[in-house]
Structure 1
Amino acid sequence: MTNHLMNLRHVPDDEANEIRELFEAHDVPYYETPPSRWGISMGGFWVHDDDEARRARELLENYQRERLQRQREAYEQDLAAGRVGGFWHRFRRRPVTTLVACLAIAIILALTVAPFVTL
């Protein structure tokens, strides 16, 4: 029976490539189905054998823990260097774009709520 190891929807290319390399380095006989363009089918990594699926899941869990730690450290470094931030950081860097986005949000919200307020 086939075992679905991981959904590929919204997975960055670098992560998918690292997982392929991980499976190939550990001789995991996997196959891959791509996600659909419109998000109907999920795509993913699959394995036929149950024993291989258990081994592949352990490899994936270890990989995900390591990747989470790497991404968290990279984010903290970017935050300390001032390359990322919240609303005020974005507003200081691109005030016109931020104001236009806020205005669009306010208009959409007003159009959505207006029929209920006028009842």
Structure 2
Amino acid sequence: MPHHLMNLRHVPDDEADEIRALLEAHEVAYYETPPSRWGISMGGFWVHDDDEAERARVLLEAYHRERQETQRRTYQENLARGEAGGVWFMFRRYPVRTLAACLAIVVIMGLSLLPFVHIG
């Protein structure tokens, strides 16, 4: 019976490439299904064998711990250099784009709530 190792929905290409290289380097017999364009099927990495699944899960756990630390360190470095931040950072750096996004959010919320406002 197939074992689903990892969902590929919203996985960056560099991470998927690193996982493929990791599984191939450790000679894990896996296959891959791509996610659909419309988000209906999730896609992912799969194996058939129970032992391969356990071995692959151990490798993936170690890989994800390492990637989490690397990504966290990169984010902290970007924060220190002033290249990343929250909403206020985006507003200071891209004021027109941020205001346009906020306006779009308000319009969408208004259109979504409009039927309920007319009920009362």
Q: TM-score, normalised by structure 2?
A: 0.92
Provide the residue aligned with 1:66 in structure 2: 66
CA distance in 2, matches of 1:113, 1:41: 30
Provide the residue aligned with 1:101 in structure 2: 101
Shift of 1:24: 0.9
RMSD over aligned Cα atoms:
1.3
Distance 1:35 1:114, change over 3 A: closer
The code of the aligned residue for 2:93 comes to: R
Deviations 1:23-75 (A, max 9, x none): 11111111111111211111111111101110000000000000001000000
- 5 Å-filtered alignment, 1:37-116, equals 37-116=37-116
Equivalent residue of 1:110, what SS?
helix
Equivalent residue of 1:32, what SS?
strand
- Count of matched residue positions in the alignment of Structure 1 and Structure 2: 119
Shift of 1:113: 2.8
- 5 Å-filtered alignment, 1:30-41, equals 30-41=30-41
Equivalent residue of 1:39, what SS?
coil
CA distance in 2, matches of 1:43, 1:13: 13
Residue identity over aligned pairs, in percent, reads 69
CA distance in 2, matches of 1:80, 1:5: 35
Q: TM-score, normalised by structure 1?
A: 0.92
Gaps of 5+ in 1: none
Distance 1:38 1:102, change over 3 A: same
CA distance in 2, matches of 1:41, 1:110: 31
Provide the residue aligned with 2:13 in structure 1: 13
Provide the residue aligned with 1:23 in structure 2: 23
CA distance in 1, matches of 2:23, 2:64: 13
Gaps of 5+ in 2: none
Equivalent residue of 1:29, what SS?
coil
